[in-house]
Amino acid sequence: MTGTAARHLYLVRHGEASPDETALTDNGRRQAVLLGERLRSVPLSACCHGPLPRAEETARLLCGRLDGVPRYPAEWAGDYIPYVPQRDELPSDSADSMLHRLSQFPAEERANGPEFARQALARFAGPVVGDEPRHELLVTHNFLIGWLVRAALDAPPWRWMGLNHAHAALTVIRYAPDRPASVLCYNDMSHLPPELRWTGFPPELHA
């Protein structure tokens, strides 16, 4: 059924995690709470999050600052490779390094990722049925955010690579009827103090 009202999708990468990724760090917990404070005025209908501990804890802390926003896990909101390109799709000067990087990830993430990515697009990437705009929150991982932003911009499938998201940063995509998707903001960290910004990026890329 064709959507008739706008969907606003709020995309969040989980907070900074411990080295073994079983929990958030103190900084990660602060990031999640501060983002929750920022989103208090948004009329969110639900929060979907990935099943891994760092995403679940971020969603729990974030939603703890909101008023009654239900949250639910989804396997397709997890951490995986959304698309594995063929060599001839990639820029010739970087194809080898990009494919080598992808080969370092577990085979399961590469094999199951494309189907999960399809499910994520089917669930979120488009307007909604009804008369009321919908605001939804997705707490997930770097690669899926890149995949959804790539799709919103109608970029080639491989272009999710190179779209990097900081911990607890905010990206908002608007899907409205009869018009292309709009990326309203990307990787916004204005709710975080300077010492909590740019985690998840190597130091040389901090702005």
Do residues 55 and 141 make contact, with C-beta atoms less than 8 angstroms apart?
yes
| Encoded amino acid at 172, one letter | V
Work out the mean pLDDT of the chain and round it to a whole number. 95
* pTM for the structure as a whole: 0.95
Structure token pair of residue 91:
């820029």
3-class SS of residue 20: coil
Which DSSP helix (H) or strand (E) runs through 73? strand 71-73
3-class SS of residue 86: coil
What pLDDT is attached to residue 33? 98
Do residues 76 and 119 make contact, with C-beta atoms less than 8 angstroms apart?
yes
Q: What is the mean pLDDT of residues 96-104?
A: 94
Report whether pLDDT(1) > 70: no
Would you state the torsion angle of the CA atoms of residues 158, 28, 64, 207, taken in this order, to the nearest 10 degrees? Answer: -60
What is the C-alpha separation between 6 and 194, in angstroms, rounded?
A: 33
- Share above pLDDT 90 across residues of the chain, in percent, rounded to a whole number: 89
What confidence tens digit (pLDDT) does each residue in 16-58 have?
A: 999 999 999 999 999 999 999 999 999 999 999 999 999 999 9
